[in-house]
Structure formats: structure tokens, C-alpha cells
């Protein structure tokens, strides 16, 4: 398996993921669980953020206390399901900059086509965390990372809830410099490109569409 892959096996993550997989879990609960898991995944993906110290005064004395160094993070949501991860991560990192990438799959070529792209400036100075709950074929994720690299991003990490081995392999081959953090890697993709056993269409389940 891809060496830059982290599977977050924390019991809370795995328990919440099971609830999300259950087809009888209602939309509002699904959305809330995704928000909660996104924060646990964010804890893992930001583990090695650069730190510095700041001189502060506690009620008792002065101290050099640890604070985050460098420019604010950039969070980039792959529309539309990425927004389900975005809200929770933004609660933890409220000053992060936010970008959006919109891609759809061309029916004939099956390749991703860009319809929206708006990202923060100075991507080259920021840690960029790409958010997409489902890493399935990996085609749109790899295309989104291509676009971000073309915009100057050089420190990118990818956060998803579920991955297929095919998607992990595709990302590993296209962007071996991009670590992936996920809650699970499932068995395979089916003939329609769904992750199996998976949880169905993440966008539909979080927005109540079909
Ligand atoms: N996108 C989804 O929402 N679900 C899958 O299983 C695969 C891609």
C-alpha cells in the first residue's frame, strides 16, 4: 500500500464511520457525523504543523508558549461533497483560507472536466489540505491536485473519509508527494465507480438528494 497513507483507526472515528455506512442513518445525522469525523481527521492531518513560540504572561509568570508558525492553512473543498468535511475543519482552524474546485465527469471520455476553480493566493507559502470524502477512482482528486500545483501549491495533503485501493494507487502514482489521511480503505470499486462496501453517494446522503 502507498507509503504516505494514514488510516485513522481511532475507535471514535471507526464507530462514527459505521453509523455513516448504515443506509438507515438519516441525512441530518449523517451530516453531523461527517462534521465530527472531519475534526478527528484534521487532528491527524495537522499533527506536524510547524510551531514557534510567543512570549506571553500567564497570571503567574512570563513564558515562551507554543503557537502555530507560518502562513494560515488553505482548505480546498472538491465540490460538492468536500463541503461536508470543510465545515468541521473550519471550526478547528477558523482562520484558514478556503478554496473550491468544481469538477464533473465527462460522459464520453470519463475524464474530469473543470467547471469552477477559486483558490486563495500565495498557495506556495501555505499548507494546502484538499477535502473530498470519497477517494474512488482518484481521477478527480488527481486532477484537483494538478490544478493546485499549477497555482503554485507545493505542500499538499489530502483528507478523505473513505478510499478505494484504486484511488489510493492512482493518487500515489500521480502525486507521490501528497500524503493521504483517511478513516478506512475499502475493498474495491464497483462497475459504477462506487466504493464497496462504502456508504453510497456521499453528496446525496449529506444533502438529501438522489
Ligand atoms: N463518490 C461517492 O459519493 N461514493 C462513492 O462510493 C464513490 C464516489
Q: What is the CATH number of the domain that holds 129?
A: 3.40.50.2020
Residue 57 bridge partners (DSSP): 62
Does 201 carry a binding-site annotation?
Answer: yes
Terminal CA-to-CA distance of the chain, rounded, Å? 33
- Among the listed residues 46, 65, 43, the one whose alpha carbon sits nearest the alpha carbon of residue 55: 65
Judged on CB neighbours under 10 Å (0-12, 13-18, 19+), 135 is buried
Question: φ, ψ for residue 34 (rounded to 5)?
Answer: -65, -40
* pLDDT mean across residues, the chain: 95
> Would the pTM count as exceeding 0.90?
yes
64 classed as catalytic = no
Asked whether residue 3 carries a pLDDT value surpassing 80, the answer given is no
Q: Do residues 138 and 165 lie in contact, with contact meaning Cβ atoms separated by under 8 Å? A: no
Ligand 1 centroid to Cα of residue 164, in Å, is: 10
Give domain status of residue 176, yes or no.
yes
Give domain status of residue 61, yes or no.
no
Asked whether residue 131 carries a pLDDT value surpassing 70, the answer given is yes
Ligand 1 centroid to Cα of residue 170, in Å, is: 16
C-alpha cell of residue 154: 507545493
198 Cβ closer than 6 Å to some ligand 1 atom: yes
Strands of the sheet containing 134-135, edge to edge, are: 134-135, 162-163, 184-185
pLDDT at 58: 98
Give domain status of residue 80, yes or no.
yes
Asked whether residue 25 carries a pLDDT value surpassing 90, the answer given is yes
Any idea which residue has 494538478 for its cell?
146
Does 141 carry a binding-site annotation?
Answer: no
Which CA distances in Å does 142 have to 67, 72, 81, 116, 168? Answer: 32, 24, 16, 16, 10
- Tally the residues of the chain: 210
- The lowest-confidence range among 55-59, 164-168, 175-179, 189-193 is 189-193
Give domain status of residue 108, yes or no.
yes
Ligand 1 centroid to Cα of residue 198, in Å, is: 8
Which CA distances in Å does 97 have to 4, 87, 139? Answer: 24, 12, 25
pLDDT at 120: 95
The Cα angle at residue 195 between residues 193 and 201, in degrees rounded to 5? 80
Give domain status of residue 201, yes or no.
yes
Q: Do residues 34 and 26 lie in contact, with contact meaning Cβ atoms separated by under 8 Å? A: no
Range of the domain at 96: 5-49+71-207
201 Cβ closer than 6 Å to some ligand 1 atom: yes
Give domain status of residue 124, yes or no.
yes
CB within 8 Å of 135: residues ≥ 6 apart: 141, 158, 160, 162, 163, 164, 167, 168, 171, 180, 182
Give the number of domains in the chain: 1
C-alpha cell of residue 32: 453531523
User: ipTM of the assembly?
Assistant: 0.95
Give domain status of residue 130, yes or no.
yes
Give domain status of residue 27, yes or no.
yes
Amino acid at each position: 500500500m502507498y507509503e504516505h497513507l494514514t488510516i485513522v483507526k481511532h475507535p471514535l472515528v471507526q464507530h462514527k464511520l459505521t453509523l455513516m455506512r448504515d443506509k438507515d442513518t438519516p441525512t441530518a445525522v449523517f451530516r453531523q457525523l461527517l462534521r465530527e469525523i472531519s475534526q478527528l481527521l484534521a487532528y491527524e492531518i495537522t499533527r506536524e504543523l510547524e510551531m514557534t513560540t510567543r512570549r506571553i504572561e500567564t497570571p503567574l509568570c512570563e513564558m515562551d508558549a507554543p503557537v502555530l508558525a507560518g502562513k494560515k492553512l488553505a482548505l480546498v473543498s472538491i465540490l460538492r461533497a468536500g463541503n461536508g468535511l470543510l465545515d468541521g475543519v473550519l471550526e478547528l482552524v477558523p482562520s484558514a483560507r478556503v478554496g473550491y474546485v468544481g469538477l464533473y465527469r465527462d460522459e464520453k471520455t470519463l475524464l474530469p472536466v473543470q467547471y469552477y476553480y477559486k483558490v486563495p493566493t500565495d498557495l506556495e507559502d501555505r499548507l494546502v489540505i484538499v477535502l473530498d470524502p470519497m477517494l474512488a477512482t482518484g481521477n478527480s482528486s488527481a486532477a484537483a491536485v494538478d490544478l493546485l500545483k499549477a497555482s503554485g501549491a507545493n505542500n499538499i495533503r489530502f483528507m478523505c473519509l473513505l478510499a478505494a485501493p484504486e484511488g489510493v494507487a492512482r493518487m500515489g502514482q500521480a502525486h507521490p508527494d501528497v500524503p493521504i489521511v483517511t478513516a478506512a480503505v475499502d475493498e474495491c470499486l464497483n462497475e459504477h465507480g462506487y466504493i464497496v462496501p462504502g456508504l453510497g453517494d456521499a453528496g446525496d446522503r449529506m444533502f438529501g438528494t438522489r
